Chain A
Amino acid sequence: MNSTFVLIVLLFLLVVLLGFVFWPGKGIVPRMLLARKEKSRAHLEDVLKHAYDCQYRSVACTVESIAGILQTSIGNASQLVTRLESMGLLERDGSALHLTSDGTSYALRIIRIHRLWERYLADETSVREADWHRYAERQEHLLSPADANALAARLSNPQVDPHGDPIPTATGEIPIVPGRLLTALEEGEFGRVVHIEDEPPEIYAQLVAEGLYPGLQLQMIQRRPDYVRFEAEGEEVLLATPLARQVSVTLIPEERRKRGPFATLTAVESGRAVVVTAISRACRGQQRRRIMDLGIVPGTRVTPELDSLTGNPRAYLVRGTLVALRKEQTDQIFVEPDAGVA
């Protein structure tokens, strides 16, 4: 009697345990299988992305370069290539690999999600710039095309990611970004930064630290074989040629040039009225919207009124309202003296 009871309990526990391990969708084994499948899909997608990138930069895509990018063995990489070939996404041409048209549109879909996600992180969240790329690398394999379209709609269909790379449209179109390398800008010419290469991350971080961002207006002062010197937002920047090669610019026609001098709102002394000339493009998304919602747009008269204990934040009189702003924001607002008062 007693041993039967124990047996029943043991059998019941066994059934529960088996359910825990094998339950479809929720059990440990199905989850592990799913995770493995997703990981291998992520690898395949990374290969397609790399192949597209090679095509874009007109360099050869090989099994070796794939192994390098994925940090895996040559054998593994060639296995992945064989699978992609059998799926009709990749073609072999000698040692070089090419995307088929199906492969290209698949790759563009992944790139679209990646860049949209970076845009989302930059505009809508407070995730640090250094983490954008890493988070997007993970997210690009998880979002469905429908989710991506919904996200794009929410962000009001942005055209470029925060590094200036164009975001492919839902139909897989991607424009050729106009522009040339910063090192090709002639002395005295005005250019606007359209793209900053985000890989390798260390170099990208250096460029960001120098204050470069897509949309920045600059004027070339001096161009030498080993460095370039240019003026941006009232400051002179010196960049070694390898770094400058990571930056693309377009020429700015005379009439669209922003007027200098570039004094920031932070530097204005208390009680002195100034007029906003521009808001830096480095101020993006929500932050930019909030500043503009307060009525701070080019042409607005602003007067610093009140200093706090440390001088940060300061309160400014904008359109009859007193608004407190931190230095981090006023550093991004460019002004000129108010002609009507001075």
Chain B
Amino acid sequence: MSTTDLKNPSSSPTASLLTEANALRWEMGEEYHDSLMEGIYEDAARIADRSVTRSGERRRFNLDRAIDHLVTSKWTGFPFMFLVLAVVFWLTVVGANVPSGLLADLLLDTVHPMLKGAMQSVGSPWWLTGVLIDGAYLAGAWVVSVMLPPMAIFFPMVTLLEDFGYLPRVAFNLDALYRRAGAHGRQALTMTMGFGCNAAGVVATRIIDSPRERLIAIITNNFSLCNGRWPTQILIASIFVGAMVPAHFAGLVAAGGVVVIAVLGVALSLVVSWSLSRSVLRGEASAFSLELPPYRPPRILQTLYTSLIDRTIIVLWRAVVFAVPAGIVIWLVGNVTIDGVTVAEHFVNWSNPFGLLIGLNGVILLAYIIAIPANEIVIPTVLMLTVLTSAINGVGAGAGVMFEADSTVATAEILRGGGWTALTGICLMLFSLLHNPCSTTIFTIYKETGSVKWTALATLLPLGMGFVVCFLVAQGWRLIAGG
């Protein structure tokens, strides 16, 4: 364009062309985008018909449909889904025991005393050894040994199911529920992922493209009982719920108790989704489209590699980063004394009345505060604190040092010694389901939403619900049982 054009645009040929184009735009109307798209598809289809030959497609097709009818039909769809999920969880819980034990042997029972000995031999003062080895190292090592094996089993299995094409069918089956809750059908997938690890579940919400529905999925992911909480549920259920019935029913009833808690979590995630989509996150449901890909043999090696790198390692690294400072805090509250009494005891005594009001106790409240990096270290912290505050002799590994009892019976003795009842057990199971997400998940929520407000809501909402539910259960229980 020459300088004269710039100075006097109205007379230039370019400007008059633009004006004409603008006028034509109004005449053309809005539908030309659609017509363009139709045209492209028409051309593409014509070219494909001319140059692509299809043979033998019919047969493979029918096999797919046969599987689809099995996994989505009225009578077999849901039982099949529960069966698959049950097998995945069973393999995770049972299969993780062996490598977890090996890692614990190595990191906790061998390396830990070795490091402690080495520190003492170079003449480090007791408090430095305590903070670094009993605090920071122990917490980090504990998190690795209890988190790594279940995640390394659970995530590859889920990824294999996804790769095979089954998970989209689960979303298809469950979409009706989520639609009524005002949420996206793919939330079923992120919820399943949350059963493995909530932080991974929150990352998985990236598959939901509507921001509103994605936030709902992020906030409610914590209601999926994660790997770190299953062992707590199983332990407490077998000690307190199983003990309420005759011995030969104990196992069954305890398992039933855990299932009830997990199902309650799913139900609450739907209820909370429903109320969120009618209050702070109200809006219209976005277009739901879900591709149901053809079934294909999973690529095992690739799946192992990506699920280990993408999910397990990242989540584990974050957990360790948070566990190390928390380990230091755990050791300090057990060892720093004010007026001859440890900080832990001060807090436990002060918060105990409130804890009892909601069916818990001061030890549990403190454990949930200082064991925020990982749900896995809640029970070791509870045991350490119980021994510390109730003066039980002969067990434990010293003030501020987390430990696990050798057997369920030994754990039960320690907890009963700490004044625990069946009500404490049930309320702990409920509180384990309904409390703030672990710090790794909170940090992940912040990274994914980029908002302090939503992170705070996702953190405080389940905590508030936990207080209310535990309070109601405790008061109801005491009213009926007269305790």
Q: Which residues of A line the B interface, CB within 8 A? A: 125-129, 156, 158-160, 166, 169, 173, 175, 215, 279, 283, 286-288, 290-292, 294-295, 297-300, 305-306, 308-310, 312-313, 315, 319, 321-326, 328-329
Contacts and interface: CB of A to CB of B under 8 A. Distances in A.
Nearest to A156: B33
Interface in B206-222: 210-213
A324 B292 contact: yes
A292 B172 contact: no
Return the 10 tightest CB-CB contacts between A and B, nearest first: A126-B283, A287-B287, A322-B292, A324-B290, A310-B176, A326-B288, A297-B38, A126-B212, A126-B284, A290-B287
Nearest to B288: A326
A127 B284 CA distance: 6
B68 A297 contact: no
Contacts of B287: 283, 286-287, 290-291, 326, 328-329
Interface in B163-197: 168, 171-173, 175-176, 179, 185
Contacts, number: 123
Contacts of A125: 211-212, 283
Contacts of A325: 288-289
A328 B285 contact: yes
Which of A126, A298, A329 counts the most chain B CB atoms within 10 A?
A: A126
Given A300-B41, A309-B77, A324 B172 contact: yes
Nearest to B287: A287
A312 B176 CA distance: 6
Contacts of A286: 286-287
Contacts of A169: 22
A305 B26 CA distance: 41
Given A159-B30, A166-B26, 7 more contacts: A159-B26, A169-B22, A290-B287, A297-B37, A299-B38, A321-B291, A326-B179
Contact of B286 (A126, A156, A175, A309): A126
B235 to A, nearest CB: 36
Interface of B: 22, 25-26, 29-31, 33-34, 37-38, 41-42, 45, 64-65, 68-69, 72, 74, 77-78, 168, 171-173, 175-176, 179, 185, 210-213, 282-294
Contact of B284 (A128, A158, A166, A313): A128
A131 to B, nearest CB: 9
A138 B25 CA distance: 29
A315 B283 contact: no
Contacts of B294: 322
Contact of B289 (A160, A290, A309, A312): A290
Given A159-B25, A309-B77, A328-B285, A297 B175 contact: no
B22 A315 contact: no
A173 B77 CA distance: 59
Contacts of A308: 72, 172-173, 175-176
15 contacts: A125-B283, A126-B284, A159-B25, A159-B30, A166-B26, A286-B287, A288-B34, A297-B37, A299-B38, A306-B72, A309-B173, A313-B185, A315-B172, A322-B64, A326-B185
A300 B42 CA distance: 9
Nearest to B42: A299
Contacts of A329: 287-289
Nearest to B57: A320
B72 A126 contact: no
Given A287-B287, A299-B38, A160 B30 contact: yes
A295 B45 CA distance: 10
Contacts of A315: 68, 172, 292
